[in-house]
Amino acid sequence: MAHEFPVQVYYEDTDMAGIVYHANYLKYIERARSDWVRGLGIDQNALRLAEGLVFVVRRIEADYLGPARFEEELLVRTEVKSVSGVRLGLSQEVVRDGKPLFRAEVTLVAITSEGHPARLPAAIRQQVH
């Protein structure tokens, strides 16, 4: 089941034409991922402090399908596609009235506070599987 996160387009999100600037879609899907993780009951700050682990984007492939504009209400859908010991694959899309405007395939990994790769905690792998 997909996680859904609402986004309101503000003036600051747009370019001179009133269209959402392309990099802001990445911000929208990042916010949605943070909300999704929080909804799973995972405290990312506690994980960082207790185990020295943080989640980072390893890879992202994005397709821009249509423009979003100032004051529109959007919805970000996040769905788990794959889970392994070290990677979490997500599919995310930004939609307006059910019409996709942006799609991304995102690979997340965990790293230590020193920047070294780490296994995803078992509790997290089991929770998203």
Give catalytic status of residue 63 as yes or no.
no
Alpha helices in the chain (DSSP H): 22-39, 44-51, 122-128
Which one-letter DSSP state was computed for residue 115? Answer: S
Secondary structure of the chain: what % helix, strand, coil (to 5)? 30, 45, 25
Angle, vertex CA 72, rays to CA 79 and CA 67, nearest 5: 75
Catalytic residue among 13, 15, 43, 63: 15
Nearest C-alpha neighbor of 95 from the set 23, 16, 11, 25: 25
Kindly list the catalytic residues: 15
